[in-house]
């Protein structure tokens, strides 16, 4: 019974009380420190181009003497690194693997490796255990540690306060742009692509000489990203300029291949940096099984000692270039690398473009080099001070010896020398420590002969430290030497956008009737006519409406005009068939449109007829027609800029075929005009804004214009049948 009573006894009121804490306070005290730790101490690289785990690993190898010594077991390095990075041996070894020459992730590897370290392009080629592999620092790492022992960067205690580690590396080149880095923090990510070392050195030198160098000039020097996997980069200057200015954007990469006529096969020798060979093989296999791609008999991994190779065996009479064009559009043989240059600057994350990163690195390097020079200056000044004291006793060496010999107490020797020769305590201590055999004129004369050189070096260092321009010259000199010593040709070749897109062979596309539907919010549907028979009620988002609807064929090409005066072209066969009950594909995402860009009109074309036109109605009531032929290019381009005049916002786009169409124009004040397209002027130039079609009152502007207006304005359609156009009135 007693035991039962004890069990039922209630806890004291103080112990049972629950402390209530506002959620905002919980986030501030518990979650935010975790967030900042992940951002600052784990996932985001600093201006030296390294995350903390990479920096701790490389510094440990430096202190182990692996910059000049022989290789050691990776397990030894991992164990030593845990003195700085106590996150487990597996995480440390994964960090080490990515920095090795064997893995192939970096253009300039930091670790010279021996053994199996997997491959950057393979998911299944696992690296060997740390006890089987050997590593040492690559000679390239000399550029990371130059000046690190001369107080060029700050040091902080490690986690248990038993040793010190650098907060940054005093890199002599902008490693942040040379080594690619990917990181996922809390609420932000970092995705930094690599650039060619020689180009980065030249670009940095150009900015050192002219801090206000233009981004256009910089793009001519640092031409584009360069990846260790090679391949081709499809040059899109507009996208690259955005990356150089803001640090956000994307670059499109494409595999490099050769056709072997002798055995009728394609050898893919380089693939995009983030692509995986196993995923590519699986995707090609699935496409062949599903019958979406024909002409392939086998696809296999042919990697050997000569490097990467993916071989595709072809059927007889298969066109290799057309086949590769299909594979580029359907597999990771063509892939986009998304850039998001998040970098830690003075401990705070910032999104910077290439230009701003170079400016920040120059300021960082200026500080490092000044601290290094100040260290050397102090050493030389201290040595000069000692030699001046040594020169003082040269006039009477016997007197110095006599003072030392006749001094009774050892602690009085320094004081007596100071009094006799007017020396400082440091100088007197130095002289007192000289061996007796060195107290001769020859030794002392040889030592003090350095005074003149020291004075010249000190004056030179002081002169440089007083002038930032001279310090920048030293940085430029170092960059020139680095380029000469370590510069390599580009691995990723640059090709123009016009030279890469070719039309798919129409006979390879299954053709059947479809209905194309484009909405104001940017959703596109391709619906088979058989599916429409079952349900013709279109599902749309709330307040969305159809701006283009047409029955056409699957071999057609969808032309989409956007509010930013651009034209996007994409084949209908690249869209999956959908149903009326679904929203469809979101074009701004599928076509990689810019932020704030959306469709304002569309049309499916199978050819570019001579007498057909696109019409554009502008906000100020003006309108113009442009021949369809003006949009035909020799090479099929997926995007055209300046597709129409951007001087005034365009409200609507219509298409005029063999016969004129009726176009309804409605203003914000709900006034409208119904006009025949043959009354709208035609201009051959895509930049023309046309003539005034609708006289607007002050403060009014066009809000709607379309040739497919029947569903939205049925009264206007009735008016069109009863009267001749143009007719003005209230369409409501």
State residue 730's pLDDT score.
Answer: 47
Query: What letter would DSSP give residue 35?
Result: H
The stretch 680-692 carries a mean pLDDT of 89
State residue 445's pLDDT score.
Answer: 85
Strand 111-114 to 134-137 pairing: antiparallel
- Which pLDDT band, with edges at 50, 70 and 90, does 494 fall under? very high
What is the DSSP track for 66-135? TTTS--EEHHHHHHHHTTT--S-HHHHHHHHHHTBTTT---SS-SEEEES----TT-SS-PPPPTTT-EE
357, part of any domain: no
State residue 680's pLDDT score.
Answer: 92
Task: State yes or no: pLDDT of 715 exceeds 60.
Answer: yes
State residue 149's pLDDT score.
Answer: 94
Q: Number of folded domains in the chain? A: 3
Cβ distance 730 to 669 under 8 Å? no
Task: State yes or no: pLDDT of 610 exceeds 90.
Answer: no
Q: Which residues are bridge partners to 629 per DSSP? A: none
Lowest mean pLDDT among 351-355, 473-477, 677-681: 677-681
56, part of any domain: yes
Which tokens belong to 663? 């176009």
Task: Give backbone dihedrals phi and psi of 193, rounded to 5 degrees, phi first.
Answer: -85, 165
Catalytically annotated residue among 132, 159, 512, 586: 132
The stretch 320-335 carries a mean pLDDT of 92
Residue 585 to residue 233: CA distance in whole angstroms: 27
State residue 100's pLDDT score.
Answer: 97
Residue 665 to residue 690: CA distance in whole angstroms: 15
- Do 310 and 391 lie in one domain? The reply is no
- Which pLDDT band, with edges at 50, 70 and 90, does 723 fall under? very low
State residue 440's pLDDT score.
Answer: 81
The stretch 527-549 carries a mean pLDDT of 83
- Do 296 and 371 lie in one domain? The reply is no
Task: Kindly report the pTM of this predicted structure.
Answer: 0.69
- What is the CATH classification number for the domain harbouring 444? 1.10.268.10
698, part of any domain: no
DSSP H helical segments within 535-679, as ranges? Answer: 587-590
Task: Give backbone dihedrals phi and psi of 526, rounded to 5 degrees, phi first.
Answer: -120, 110
Task: State yes or no: pLDDT of 185 exceeds 80.
Answer: no
- Which pLDDT band, with edges at 50, 70 and 90, does 15 fall under? low
State residue 2's pLDDT score.
Answer: 45
- In percent, how much of the chain has pLDDT > 90? 60
Q: Which residues are bridge partners to 567 per DSSP? A: 561, 640
Among candidate residues 433, 457, 485, the one where a domain is terminated: 485
- Do 58 and 166 lie in one domain? The reply is yes
Task: State yes or no: pLDDT of 336 exceeds 80.
Answer: yes
- What is the CATH classification number for the domain harbouring 328? 3.30.1360.40
The stretch 437-464 carries a mean pLDDT of 88
Query: What letter would DSSP give residue 191?
Result: E
- Do 401 and 461 lie in one domain? The reply is yes
- The alpha carbon of residue 675 and the mean position of all alpha carbons in its chain are separated, in whole angstroms, by 50
Which tokens belong to 151? 């107080």
Task: Give backbone dihedrals phi and psi of 549, rounded to 5 degrees, phi first.
Answer: -145, 130
301, part of any domain: yes
- Do 374 and 455 lie in one domain? The reply is yes
Burial 447-466, CB ≥16 within 10 A → b, else e: bbeeeeebeebbeebeebee
- Do 372 and 305 lie in one domain? The reply is no
628, part of any domain: no
State residue 442's pLDDT score.
Answer: 83
The pLDDT tens digits of the residues spanning 92-143 come to 999 999 999 999 999 999 999 999 999 999 999 999 999 999 999 999 999 9
Lowest mean pLDDT among 340-349, 502-511, 592-601: 502-511
Lowest mean pLDDT among 7-11, 418-422, 671-675: 7-11
Lowest mean pLDDT among 195-209, 479-493, 664-678: 664-678
Lowest mean pLDDT among 6-10, 131-135, 316-320, 683-687: 6-10
Task: State yes or no: pLDDT of 612 exceeds 80.
Answer: yes
Q: CB neighbours (10 Å) of residue 438?
A: 11
The stretch 548-557 carries a mean pLDDT of 90
- What is the CATH classification number for the domain harbouring 126? 3.90.199.10
Residue 478 to residue 492: CA distance in whole angstroms: 26
CA-closest candidate to residue 675, choices 619, 620, 624, 611: 624
Structural domain including 328 reads 256-332
553, part of any domain: no
Lowest mean pLDDT among 158-167, 452-461, 479-488, 522-531: 522-531
Burial 24-45, CB ≥16 within 10 A → b, else e: eeeeeeeeeeeeeebbbeebbb
Task: State yes or no: pLDDT of 5 exceeds 60.
Answer: no
CA-closest candidate to residue 261, choices 331, 325, 327, 321: 321
- Which pLDDT band, with edges at 50, 70 and 90, does 7 fall under? very low
- Do 63 and 161 lie in one domain? The reply is yes
- Which pLDDT band, with edges at 50, 70 and 90, does 531 fall under? confident
State residue 366's pLDDT score.
Answer: 97
Mean pLDDT estimate for the chain: 88
Angle between helix 89-98 and helix 52-63 axes, rounded to 10 deg: 90
Among candidate residues 458, 485, 512, the one where a domain is terminated: 485
Task: State yes or no: pLDDT of 247 exceeds 50.
Answer: yes
The pLDDT tens digits of the residues spanning 374-407 come to 999 999 999 999 999 888 888 788 888 888 888 8
SS3 for 227?
coil
The pLDDT tens digits of the residues spanning 250-308 come to 999 999 999 998 899 999 999 999 999 999 999 999 999 887 888 899 999 999 888 89
State residue 728's pLDDT score.
Answer: 47
Task: State yes or no: pLDDT of 532 exceeds 50.
Answer: yes
The 567-571 sheet, strands edge to edge: 599-605, 557-562, 567-571, 639-640
Among candidate residues 147, 171, 195, the one where a domain is terminated: 171
User: Which of 23-32, 144-153, 318-327, 693-702 has maximum average pLDDT?
Assistant: 144-153
- Which pLDDT band, with edges at 50, 70 and 90, does 726 fall under? very low
- Which is more confidently placed, 634 or 115? 115
- Do 80 and 164 lie in one domain? The reply is yes
- Which pLDDT band, with edges at 50, 70 and 90, does 174 fall under? very high
Angle between helix 197-209 and helix 468-486 axes, rounded to 10 deg: 160
- Do 64 and 119 lie in one domain? The reply is yes
Task: Give backbone dihedrals phi and psi of 443, rounded to 5 degrees, phi first.
Answer: -65, -45
438, part of any domain: yes
- Do 328 and 369 lie in one domain? The reply is no
Cβ distance 185 to 38 under 8 Å? yes
Q: Is 523 known to be catalytic?
A: no
> HEC profile for 643-667?
CCCCCCCEEEEEEECCCCCEEEEEE
710, part of any domain: no
């Amino acid at each position: 019974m007693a035991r039962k009573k004890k069990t039922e006894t209630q806890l004291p009121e103080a112990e049972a009380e629950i402390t209530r804490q506002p959620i905002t306070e919980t986030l501030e005290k518990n979650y935010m420190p975790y967030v900042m730790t992940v951002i600052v101490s784990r996932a985001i690289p600093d201006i030296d181009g390294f995350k903390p785990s990479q920096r701790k690993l490389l510094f440990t190898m430096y202190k182990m003497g692996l910059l000049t010594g022989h290789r050691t077991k990776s397990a030894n390095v991992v164990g030593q690194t845990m003195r700085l990075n106590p996150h487990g041996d597996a995480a440390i070894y994964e960090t080490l693997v990515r920095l090795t020459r064997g893995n192939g992730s970096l253009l300039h590897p930091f670790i010279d490796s021996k053994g199996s370290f997997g491959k950057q392009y393979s998911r299944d080629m696992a690296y060997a255990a740390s006890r089987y592999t050997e590593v040492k620092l690559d000679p390239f790492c000399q550029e990371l540690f130059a000046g690190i022992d001369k107080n060029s960067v700050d040091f902080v205690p490690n986690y248990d306060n038993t040793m010190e580690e650098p907060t940054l590396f005093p890199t002599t080149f902008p490693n942040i742009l040379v080594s690619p880095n990917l990181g996922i923090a809390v609420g932000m990510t970092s995705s930094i692509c690599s650039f060619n070392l020689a180009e980065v050195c030249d670009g940095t030198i150009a900015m050192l000489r002219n801090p206000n160098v233009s981004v256009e000039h910089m793009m001519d020097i640092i031409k584009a990203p360069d990846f260790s996997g090679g391949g081709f980069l499809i040059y899109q200057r507009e996208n690259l300029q955005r990356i150089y200015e803001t640090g956000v954007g994307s670059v499109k990469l494409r595999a490099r291949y050769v056709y072997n006529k002798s055995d009728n096969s394609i050898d893919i020798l380089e693939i995009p940096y983030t692509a995986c060979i196993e995923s590519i093989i699986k995707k090609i296999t699935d496409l062949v099984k599903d019958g979406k791609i024909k002409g392939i008999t086998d696809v296999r991994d042919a990697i050997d000692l000569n490097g990467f190779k993916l071989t595709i065996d072809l059927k007889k009479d298969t066109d290799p270039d057309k086949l590769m064009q299909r594979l580029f559009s359907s597999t990771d043989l063509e892939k986009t690398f998304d850039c998001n240059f998040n970098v830690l600057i003075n401990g705070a994350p910032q999104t910077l473009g290439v230009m701003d990163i170079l400016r920040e690195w120059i300021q960082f390097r200026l500080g490092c080099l000044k601290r290094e020079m100040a260290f050397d200056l102090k050493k030389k000044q201290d040595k000069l001070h000692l030699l001046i004291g040594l020169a003082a006793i040269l006039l009477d060496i016997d007197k110095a010896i006599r003072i030392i010999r006749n001094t009774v107490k050892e602690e009085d020797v320094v004081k007596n020398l100071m009094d006799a020769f007017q020396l400082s305590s440091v100088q007197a201590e130095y002289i007192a420590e000289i061996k007796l055999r060195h107290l001769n004129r020859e030794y002392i004369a040889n030592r003090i002969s350095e005074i003149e050189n020291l004075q010249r070096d000190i004056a030179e260092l002081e002169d440089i430290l007083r002038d930032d321009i001279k310090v920048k010259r030293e940085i430029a000199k170092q960059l020139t030497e680095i380029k000469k010593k370590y510069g390599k040709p580009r691995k990723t070749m640059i090709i123009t956008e016009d030279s890469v897109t070719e039309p798919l062979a129409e006979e390879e596309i299954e053709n059947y009737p479809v209905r194309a539907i484009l909405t104001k919010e940017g959703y596109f549907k391709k619906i088979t006519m058989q599916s429409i028979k079952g349900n013709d009620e279109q599902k749309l988002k709330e307040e969305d409406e159809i701006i283009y609807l047409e029955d056409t064929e699957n071999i057609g090409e969808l032309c989409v005009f956007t509010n930013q005066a651009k034209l996007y072209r994409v084949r209908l066969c690249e869209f999956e068939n959908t149903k009326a009950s679904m929203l469809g594909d979101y074009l701004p995402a599928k076509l990689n449109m810019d932020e704030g860009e959306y469709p304002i009109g569309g049309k499916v074309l199978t050819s570019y007829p001579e007498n057909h036109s696109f019409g554009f109605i502008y906000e100020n009531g003006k309108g113009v027609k442009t021949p369809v032929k003006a949009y035909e290019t020799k090479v099929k381009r997926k995007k055209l800029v300046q597709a129409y005049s951007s001087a005034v916002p365009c409200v609507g786009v219509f298409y005029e075929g063999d016969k004129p169409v009726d176009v309804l124009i409605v203003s914000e004040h709900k006034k409208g005009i119904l006009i025949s397209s043959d009354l709208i002027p035609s201009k051959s130039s895509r930049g023309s804004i046309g003539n005034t079609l609708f006289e607007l009152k002050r403060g009014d502007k066009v809000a709607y214009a379309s040739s497919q207006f029947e569903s939205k304005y049925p009264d206007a359609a009735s008016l069109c049948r009863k009267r001749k156009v143009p007719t003005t009135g209230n369409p409501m």
